[in-house]
Amino acid sequence: MAMRAEDLEALLREAFADADITIQDLAGDGDHYKAVIRAEAFAGKTRVAQHQMVYAALKGRMGGELHALALDTAPKAKV
């Protein structure tokens, strides 16, 4: 079963409430997404650590409901 973009975004917002999040369905199949996430929680973290935080937020759904997720993560810009 594929994951809806809305469900993916909800999981990410639960973990990164302050984040700017954009979800793009890359193949139109609900299985291949790109997520652009700008979150204060990423400040001072390596790219690998940022991605690990995202995978943790997905609560084991990577590889199951969600087949592929391209990530573009960075700390949220200070305004």
Tokens of 53: 């935080």
Do 56 and 73 touch, CB atoms closer than 8 A?
no
- Return the CATH number of 5-74, one of 2.40.160.20, 1.20.120.1200, 3.30.413.10, 3.30.300.90: 3.30.300.90
Q: What pLDDT score does 47 carry? A: 97
Confidence of residue 57 (pLDDT cuts 50, 70, 90): very high
Write out pLDDT tens, residues 11-52.
999 999 999 999 999 988 888 999 999 999 999 999 999 999
Q: Reply yes or no on whether the pLDDT at 10 is more than 80.
A: yes
pTM for this prediction:
0.91
State the residue for tokens 């973009």: 5
Query: In 10 A of CB 17, how many CB atoms?
Result: 10
Residue 75, both tokens? 């700390």
**Per-residue pLDDT band at 1 (split at 50, 70, 90):** low
Helix and strand numbers, DSSP H then E, in the chain: 2, 3
